[in-house]
Amino acid sequence: MSSHRVIVVGASGYSGGVLARLLASHPHLRLHAATSDARAGKNVGRELGFSSDVVFVPNAEAERAAASCDVAFLATPAEVSAELGPKLAEGGRTVVDLSGAFRLATGDDVRAHYKFLHPHASRLGVTHYGLPELFGAPSRGTLVSNPGCYPTPTLLGLGPLVRAGLVSPKGIVVDAKSGTTGAGRQSKEEHSFAEVAENLRAYKVLSHQHEPEIAQKLAAFSGKAVEGLVFTPHLLPVRRGLLSTCYARPLTSAPAKDLEACLRDTYAGSPFVEIVSPEEVTLASVVGTNMCRLGVAARGDVVVVVGAIDNLVKGAAGQALQNVNLALGFDEGCGLSGLHRSAA
């Protein structure tokens, strides 16, 4: 089987770098081009730690470099992806955007949460949302919006339970914590070692862009009106890993084992979702893999759903590769199933 030529736009960031490394061992995809302003002219493999003859080109050359590729990954800021994604998708190229440019429903949502005027607002609400376990495989030759890192375990945990009428879509509270790589490769004081080490803090309280993404996609999957959802993210003093704890109200008197059965039935054929006890949902069990671990517990008038992923793999690069595998008709685990836990 011939290889598909791939470009990674923004390959020197955390997510883009993980993607490039995953492509190095993929049996059907070949890294053909990579862009980075900071590393332009340098060998990709030498910079990222694998064998490659590809040289970084500036981001401004992305369209030219993509002309000879049939798959594109955009590990770029949302305002860049919003402009570039539809252009690269022209002519039947499969494009996966790792930013939030196409996740929300309207241009007003984007303006409120990402602070820019969307140049292709007509694509909002109709671009395929790439959470394959819930929304299915994307089509070949289309633009795919890769989910945010926080929404991924949150939606995987809550989606089936809300859809089945086991928990209420109203008043859900999501308390989530992520490692520092979730903020991207940037030089901000609050992400420095001195500020993060031996510390824990909330950020973007009641203003994080993943809150409307969670609410909108939970409603889209469940068919239920999601009201009053509150999401609070926290920064952990670790590099990688994300844990989401969700609190919801039960709609039935079903015991925890029935809630767990709902999750097991939903993900019976999903290689990257594992149902365990809530106490077994840990960062160490998922970091370095494309797995999402989920656990659920119930008592009286509360249901607790816990989920964990590697924010750079299932929360970004791994899920993007999973989407391309499905779009091109490969096994969804191609290039992903050999990853090892705690390989941070």
Catalytic residues: 149
For 154-169, b/e burial (b = at least 16 CB within 10 A) is bbbbbbbbbbbebbbb
Question: In terms of Cα–Cα distance, which of 185, 174, 191, 296 is closest to 243?
Answer: 174
- The residue behind tokens 């241009």 is 107
Question: In terms of Cα–Cα distance, which of 88, 189, 69 is closest to 143?
Answer: 88
Cα distance between residue 96 and residue 147, in whole Å: 10
Q: Which tokens sit at 336?
A: 């992903």
CB neighbours of residue 113 within 10 Å: 19
The amino acid that residue 24 corresponds to is A
3-state helix, strand, coil in the chain (%, to 5): 35, 20, 45
